[in-house]
Chains A and B, each alone.
Chain A
Amino acid sequence: MAAASPNLRIALRFLTSRKRAMAMSLTCITLGVGLFVITRATTSGFEGLFIRTMLGTNGAIRIEEKTQDVVGVMQADTGGPQSSNFKISNLEDRKFIHGIEEPELLMAAVRHFQNVTGVAAVLTGSRRVRNSFNEENGQVFGVELDDFLQVSDLGSQIVAGSLQSFRETPMGLLVGQVMANRLKLSPGDTVLIDADDGAVRFRVSAIYETGVNEIDRQRVYLHLAEARSLLRRPTGASLLQINLRDKDRAPADAFFISRTLGYSAISWQQRERSWLEVFRALKLSTLLTVMLFSLIAGIAMFNTLAMIAMEKTREIAILRSMGYTRRDIAAIFLWQASLVLAVGSGLGCLLGVGGTWAIATLPVRIRGIFATDTFIVAWSGWHYVEAVVMAAIMVMLASLLPARRAARLEPGDVIRGSAQ
């Protein structure tokens, strides 16, 4: 305190002279920052879980179709001396051929992309799955387990049985939690999957749960060789699922894979666009709500500083008579705002940490687009930075007017008693 500037000293004293108003401003800023952090943590938490779930089930990029130019280039007749020399390129006019003809070759090519960490061929087909209790529409996923584990979170989605059992059982099957419940299946049980010429019996090696209702109800994983036999597809694959080191680069990687390999590669951002838009809209609406908190904090600050500016006109005039400049007077008010902002932001961040932690322990069971039994929150330092920046903008904007008003006071007018 010994080395503090005179303006800071005066700001501190002015602040402490209006304890109640200052406590109100401090409370508003604390709540503004704290609620901002908590809201961002909860909305980002669910969005993050959704993205992790989608990446863990369907991968960062999928290749399902081959592209073929229908009208690639059309060149004009250049025979005669009068003819023009032009050509039309129409790369958008393409034909899509479903499926992958040479999955091994394509996988080898995809592995050359720097950001790719895994690629797996998947053979899919719709088949009825039944047992003595019930029957369900199933989506057969024929996979090479080790390849598929590199492009999904299947390893961590097992809720009963084991992947080792699946690995060791040629006729093994992985079934989703919802289908297992409907067919009353446990590891070790058998089910029949319809084939073109009858039905094939498989043994449940494990039950998985992704939290995505559609997947958990329909998808059954088989060994690729058994899927080929069941679906009568001795070669090729339905799709390639790709995992990336940097998931955010998926659109760029998908673009380059498409351009380079002649297959249509779809990034997770493109595939899940609808849900991501929902989360974006949700984030926007909550952002508007929390901005209101910051606005209230700003108004409280304005109110307090405006009161101080009105009450302290004589003190301001006397400071000006002693040689304090207009800038000093403005600085005194901005210091007051900064001090309240600093303390309020610190307390708000603590409130944010405590509130986020408390909310994370709240039990809430959600299934459908992801699976969770507790409130999901995202811990990110950026939420705190955003909250403090938002509060700083509001508080500083709110303090500019009182600061300017105080700085513009003419000391002679005030002392003469003709101010205001």
Chain B
Amino acid sequence: MPPAPDPLALRCENLHRYLGGGEGRVHVLRGVSFAARRGEVCAIVGPSGCGKSTLLYQLGLLDRPDDGQIWINGEQMSGADDGLRTAARSRHVGFVFQFHFLLLEFTALENVMLPMRKLGRLAPAAMEARATELLTAVGLGDKVRRAAAHLSGGEQQRVAVARALANEPSAILADEPTGNLDAKNSDLVFELLTSLARRNGQAVVMVTHNPEMAARCDAVRPMRDGQFIP
């Protein structure tokens, strides 16, 4: 019988991060500790420049902390080399950014298959089936073969959500995923992201400026000046 998975998809303790150099050096994260539970949607809110996105990139191993510890699925990652961090991103983390960041030369289907191809866990036919299933789940079943460049902004962001879910990651990190969408599409993307993640038992950590959206999350963590505030 396999061991029960860690209820915490990711966790960090006492994270410090400085950005810039010389006189412009800024202490962006000041000893931040945080945990994200599987099946739970957590919103990180706060004014611009308070360190929300920096924290998200630290948790997603896109950036290295100057001090502090990060665990993903119980695995210590803060001291890991680039290869281990990249492999952990591939297996355990899905990203959704404010801008969709799709590869416009590829179709919607191919974009969703990109992380799967890298991980190589599924056979090509199974990858295609899963990508189609995910695109259908986000309401793009009829546009799987359409070039990403020929999709609307809302559709592109839905493809980005499907892509983030492709490798069944433990955690989905979303940096203002609806920041660039109109109200209708914002609602749609938020619903898709949270419902699919909850259904699959994935942790969602979402940075947002939108108080309505934050209010619909399971937990809200306000930040200011590089720290969580009570």
A residues at B contact (CB < 8 Å): 2-3, 6, 9-10, 13-14, 16-17, 314-315, 317-326, 328, 410-413, 415-416, 418
User: Smallest CB-CB separation from B89: which chain A residue?
Assistant: A323
Residues in A with CB closer than 8 Å to B87 are: 323
- Contact check, B114 vs A321: say whether CB atoms are below 8 A apart: no
Total A-B residue contacts, Cβ distance less than 8 Å: 76
User: Smallest CB-CB separation from B90: which chain A residue?
Assistant: A323
Instruction: Choose one: A17, A323, A413, A415; the contact of B119 (CB below 8 Å).
Output: A323
User: Smallest CB-CB separation from A410: which chain B residue?
Assistant: B63
Residues in B with CB closer than 8 Å to A418 are: 19
* Cβ < 8 Å to A, chain B residues 28-57: 53-54, 57
User: Smallest CB-CB separation from A321: which chain B residue?
Assistant: B95
Where chain B touches its partner, the secondary structure class is helix
- Contact check, A328 vs B103: say whether CB atoms are below 8 A apart: no
User: Smallest CB-CB separation from A326: which chain B residue?
Assistant: B82
Query: B83 within 8 Å of A by Cβ?
Result: yes
- Contact check, A416 vs B101: say whether CB atoms are below 8 A apart: no
In the complex, A415 Cα to B97 Cα: how many Å?
A: 9
Give chain A nearest CB distance to B15 CB in angstroms.
13
User: Smallest CB-CB separation from A17: which chain B residue?
Assistant: B105
In the complex, A85 Cα to B97 Cα: how many Å?
A: 95
Residues in B with CB closer than 8 Å to A10 are: 103, 114
Residues in A with CB closer than 8 Å to B79 are: none
In the complex, A10 Cα to B87 Cα: how many Å?
A: 19
Give chain B nearest CB distance to A60 CB in angstroms.
62
Given A16-B105, A325-B83, 15 further pairs, Cβ under 8 A: A6-B114, A13-B105, A13-B106, A315-B103, A319-B103, A320-B62, A320-B86, A321-B93, A322-B90, A323-B87, A323-B91, A326-B82, A415-B175, A416-B63, A418-B19
Residues in B with CB closer than 8 Å to A319 are: 103, 114
* Cβ < 8 Å to A, chain B residues 87-111: 87, 89-91, 93, 95, 97, 99, 101, 103-106, 110
| Interface mask (B153-166 → A, CB under 8 Å = 1, otherwise 0) | 00000000001000
In the complex, A2 Cα to B101 Cα: how many Å?
A: 24
- Contact check, A415 vs B118: say whether CB atoms are below 8 A apart: no
Query: B117 within 8 Å of A by Cβ?
Result: yes
- Contact check, B62 vs A411: say whether CB atoms are below 8 A apart: yes
User: Smallest CB-CB separation from B166: which chain A residue?
Assistant: A322
We find that the number of chain B residues with CB closer than 8 angstroms to chain A is 33
User: Smallest CB-CB separation from B118: which chain A residue?
Assistant: A323
- Contact check, A416 vs B53: say whether CB atoms are below 8 A apart: yes
Give chain A nearest CB distance to B122 CB in angstroms.
13
Residues in B with CB closer than 8 Å to A17 are: 104-105
Query: 5 shortest A-B CB distances, which residue pairs?
Result: A323-B90, A412-B63, A412-B62, A6-B117, A13-B105
In the complex, A3 Cα to B120 Cα: how many Å?
A: 12
User: Smallest CB-CB separation from B57: which chain A residue?
Assistant: A412
**Would you give 22 A-B contacts (Cβ < 8 Å), ordered by A?**
A6-B118, A9-B110, A10-B103, A13-B103, A13-B105, A14-B105, A17-B105, A315-B103, A318-B97, A319-B114, A320-B62, A321-B60, A321-B62, A323-B89, A323-B90, A325-B86, A326-B82, A410-B63, A412-B62, A415-B97, A415-B101, A416-B54
User: Smallest CB-CB separation from B163: which chain A residue?
Assistant: A322
User: Smallest CB-CB separation from B101: which chain A residue?
Assistant: A318
In the complex, A410 Cα to B106 Cα: how many Å?
A: 23
Residues in B with CB closer than 8 Å to A2 are: 124
- Contact check, A322 vs B62: say whether CB atoms are below 8 A apart: no
Instruction: Choose one: B19, B103, B175; the contact of A318 (CB below 8 Å).
Output: B103
In the complex, A328 Cα to B103 Cα: how many Å?
A: 16
Q: Say yes or no: A415-B103 contact (C-beta < 8 A), given A320-B86, A323-B91, A323-B119.
A: no
Give chain A nearest CB distance to B136 CB in angstroms.
21
Query: B177 within 8 Å of A by Cβ?
Result: no
Give chain A nearest CB distance to B189 CB in angstroms.
17
Residues in A with CB closer than 8 Å to B106 are: 13
Residues in A with CB closer than 8 Å to B63 are: 410, 412-413, 416
In the complex, A17 Cα to B87 Cα: how many Å?
A: 28
Residues in A with CB closer than 8 Å to B19 are: 418
Give chain B nearest CB distance to A319 CB in angstroms.
7
User: Smallest CB-CB separation from B60: which chain A residue?
Assistant: A321
- Contact check, A322 vs B115: say whether CB atoms are below 8 A apart: yes
- Contact check, B89 vs A322: say whether CB atoms are below 8 A apart: yes
Q: Pick the most buried of A17, A320, A322, A410: most chain B CB atoms within 10 A of its CB.
A: A322
- Contact check, B57 vs A324: say whether CB atoms are below 8 A apart: no
Give chain A nearest CB distance to B89 CB in angstroms.
5
User: Smallest CB-CB separation from A16: which chain B residue?
Assistant: B105
In the complex, A6 Cα to B90 Cα: how many Å?
A: 14
User: Smallest CB-CB separation from A323: which chain B residue?
Assistant: B90
In the complex, A323 Cα to B95 Cα: how many Å?
A: 11
Residues in A with CB closer than 8 Å to B93 are: 321
User: Smallest CB-CB separation from A3: which chain B residue?
Assistant: B124
Residues in B with CB closer than 8 Å to A325 are: 82-83, 86
Give chain B nearest CB distance to A313 CB in angstroms.
11
- Contact check, A322 vs B118: say whether CB atoms are below 8 A apart: yes
Q: Pick the most buried of A13, A16, A323, A326: most chain B CB atoms within 10 A of its CB.
A: A323
Give chain B nearest CB distance to A412 CB in angstroms.
3
In the complex, A75 Cα to B57 Cα: how many Å?
A: 91
Give chain A nearest CB distance to B21 CB in angstroms.
12
Give chain A nearest CB distance to B53 CB in angstroms.
7
- Contact check, A324 vs B118: say whether CB atoms are below 8 A apart: yes
Q: Say yes or no: A314-B101 contact (C-beta < 8 A), given A321-B62, A412-B57.
A: yes
Residues in B with CB closer than 8 Å to A413 are: 63
Q: Pick the most buried of A320, A412, A418: most chain B CB atoms within 10 A of its CB.
A: A412
| Interface mask (B136-178 → A, CB under 8 Å = 1, otherwise 0) | 0000000000000000000000000001000100000001000
| Interface mask (B67-90 → A, CB under 8 Å = 1, otherwise 0) | 000000000000000110011011
